[in-house]
Chains A and B, each alone.
Chain A
Amino acid sequence: MTSDAAPRHLHKAAIVVDELRSSLKLLGSIVVLAVVNSGSGLMLVLLATTAAGIVAGTLFAHRRWKATTYWVDDGALHYRSGIFTPDTKLVPLARVQSVDTTNAVLQRLFGVLELRVQVAGASDEEEIVLSAVTYEEAARLRRALGQPEPAPPDAIVRLGVRGLLLSALTGPQIAAGMSGIAAVYGLFDRVINVQKDGEGLLQGLHTTGEIVLVVAGLLTGGYLVSFAAGVVLFAGFEAERDGAILRVRRGLLSRRALSMPVARIDGVVIVEGLLRGPLGLASLQIESVSHGREDDVVKTLLPLVRRREAEAVIARLLPALTVAPGPLQGAPRRALRRFALRPILAGAVVGAAPGIALGGPGWLVLPALAAAGAAYGVRAYRATGVRVAGDIVVVREARRARRTLLVRRRRLQEHAVEHTPLQARAQLADVRVTVGSGGEGRARHIDRATADALSGALRPRALA
């Protein structure tokens, strides 16, 4: 049997996985070029170049595989890679924050998975990623890295089919969906433009009705892409805690599993998005140093939860973040106009444009947008609040989404009390708390005395 200290290679599937990954990145542009130049001799050259590129890429991936080794020795994980200038990364076991695995379709074919070792404050490039190891090797490595074996869970939360569909329907993947549809549109428009001698889709539109139809089509397409992304990312979602380890599994095509000590989790954010808030729904996100630079999907503790049950679910999965029910100290009444003034002015300025351009009925947009601004301001005023409950600090704010940050007092990296002369005159201040991931909780225009009391409660001496 090989010892932990002996250097090991990745599974040979890494050659295929790495090569396919780099090839897929180029595939999109190659397809566009091939379609645009179909029928010309250039297309043959393109295809020949692509084939040569794939062969060279595979040879290169093989060399890279040969040059890549890893081992656990002297209380650290070592990772040596690089063909021309070999480099060894070293992660002390005590600094390992979590071990994530991803099992995509391609990896499933070879019976391997990708293992990602998360380290505090490291970017994606700085993390150690073993792109193909067998299940047995992953289990051995987990043990060697000091991650306990899975045990029967103390608490488990699953997302059922109904929850998954609702989460995808109301999810925040809309932005991703819109950019996806814009990319697809760009591709087709470019193709159509060339095929029709410069007459693109938009140039072919003549009436307002046609433009509205195309915009509605694009929006619907974007929403459908967003829905599909939500389903693919969060299918089979389950979060469980066994002992001191939190495990999160999710994904349809690419099955991703995260496991991290609950002690490494600084806080949780309850996010009530624009679509979810009115339905009494929210999602939960983890705040931890190891996942600070990752996107919101990776940080998801639960993609959908009833808002009134959020604190109870957090208490089950992460008992250290249990917070007793109680009201937040909100912004005083005198702060209301400060919340409302800016959005009203912004609404009025934007709303004046149609009036100036069209005159007459165009001016009706101004009061409508100013009223929308006022509603936005009142919502932010009502949402704002802070609270110290035992070892937990709660900070809530509303911008587009209403965000409630629950964070362990001892894990705050810094906090700040801020005010302008105008706020000082009204005895108001903003409070900002910062967690290790770089994430912030901000409460604006709260009473100055409340802000100072919160700051006082965060003194290390007060925590002792």
Chain B
Amino acid sequence: MRPEPTEPLPPETLRMWFWSAVIAVAVLVAGALVLAASVGALMPWLPLGVAVAGAAYVALVPRVRLRRWRWRLDDEELDIVHGVWRVQRTIVPVTRIQHVSVQRTGWSDRFGLVSLHAYTAAGETDIPGLRRPQADELRDRILAQLRTPDDL
């Protein structure tokens, strides 16, 4: 039996997701206010409804998402569990990985985080929030295991 992944994402990821959600909900509430201002019948229920649903989303989703997120890298596989409603366990054999990149954005910099992207011939698998030294170490571990010939 394959062991479950145990490595969590750092707590800064929760802050990043929380503030991303706050901004997205604020934009939606502003949009709902504009719409309700032009269609009188929607006032005040539409902005209020969006605000309540948004507050619930902000309070719950980032936390559940972080609690669910686990990853594991051994000498054979990158194993990831994630998902809020639909829980996905994705397993990528390390020998299938073509290249790895560590990416940062202005937004992720504010939280001291980077993301790691592992590319296979079929697409990419991401770990969205890692501290820089941890991401570099993970990237080097994957690259060290890619030294085997691939029969792609």
Find out whether the CB atom of B76 lies under 8 angstroms from the CB atom of A120.
no
A420–B86 touching, CB < 8 Å: yes
Q: Assess whether A460 is in contact with B85, with CB atoms less than 8 Å apart.
A: no
**Cβ-defined contact, B77 with A456, below 8 A:** no
Query: Is the Cβ of B95 less than 8 Å from the Cβ of A416?
Result: no
With A414-B96, A436-B122, A437-B122 known as contacts, the answer to whether A456 contacts B87 (CB < 8 A) is no
Contact between chains at B91 and A414 (CB < 8 Å): yes
Please report the C-alpha to C-alpha distance between residue A24 and residue B76 in the assembled complex, in whole angstroms.
Answer: 52
Given that A418-B87, A456-B2 are contacting pairs, would A263 and B77 also be in contact in the complex, using a CB cutoff of 8 Å? no
* Complex contacts, B92 vs chain A, CB 8 Å: 413-414
A436/B89 in contact, CB under 8 A = no
| CB pair A459 B76 closer than 8 Å | yes
Shortest distance from the beta carbon of A243 to any chain B beta carbon, whole Å:
18
Does A418 contact B125, Cβ atoms closer than 8 Å? no
Q: Give the chain A neighbours of B88 by CB distance below 8 A.
A: 416-418
The one of B1, B93, B95, B151 in contact with A263, judged by C-beta atoms closer than 8 angstroms, is: B151
Cβ contact of A421, chosen from B2, B85, B89, B96, cutoff 8 A: B85
Q: Which of A289, A420, A435, A455 is B87 in contact with, Cβ under 8 Å? A: A420
* B-side interface residues, number (CB < 8 Å): 23
Q: Indicate if A438 sits at the interface (CB-CB under 8 A).
A: yes
Closest approach, in angstroms, between the C-beta of B152 and any C-beta of chain A?
6
Per-residue interface assignment for chain A, residues 389 to 414, with 1 indicating a CB less than 8 Å from any chain B CB and 0 otherwise: 00000000000000000000000111
Identity of the chain A residue whose Cβ is nearest the Cβ of B118 in the assembled complex: A414
Are A434 and B93 interface neighbours, CB within 8 A?
A: no
Q: Is the CB of A434 within 8 A of B122?
A: yes
Binary CB contact string for chain A from 415 to 430 against chain B (1 if under 8 A, 0 otherwise): 1111111001000000
Known: A121-B121, A437-B122, A456-B1. A415 touches B76 (CB 8 A): no
With A435-B122, A455-B91 already in contact, the answer to whether A413 and B96 are too (CB < 8 A) is: yes
A460 near B95 with CB under 8 A, answer yes
Smallest CB–CB gap between B127 and chain A, Å?
14
Cβ-based interface call for B101 (8 A) = no
- Interface positions of B from 89 to 142, Cβ below 8 Å from A: 89-93, 95-96, 120-123, 125
B69 → chain A closest CB, angstroms: 15
Question: Quick one: given A263-B151, A456-B2, are A412 and B93 in contact (CB under 8 Å)?
Answer: yes
Q: Which residues of B have CB within 8 Å of A120? A: 121, 152
User: Contacts A263-B151, A413-B121: A460 and B93 contacting too (C-beta < 8 A)?
Assistant: yes
Inter-chain contact B90/A416, CB cutoff 8 Å: yes
**B83 at the A interface (CB under 8 A):** yes
Which has the most chain B C-beta neighbours within 10 Å: A413, A421, A434, A455?
A413
Contact mask for chain B residues 36-55; partner A; CB cutoff 8 A; 1 contact, 0 none: 00000000000000000000
Kindly state the separation between the CA atoms of A415 and B152 in the bound complex, as whole angstroms: 17
Question: Any chain B CB within 8 A of the CB of A25?
Answer: no
Q: Beyond the given A416-B90, A418-B88, could you list 7 further A-B residue pairs with CB under 8 A, ordered by the A residue number?
A: A289-B121, A289-B152, A412-B96, A414-B92, A420-B86, A455-B2, A459-B77
What are 11 inter-chain pairs, A to B, with CB distance below 8 A?
A289-B152, A414-B90, A415-B91, A416-B89, A421-B85, A436-B121, A438-B121, A456-B1, A458-B91, A459-B76, A460-B76
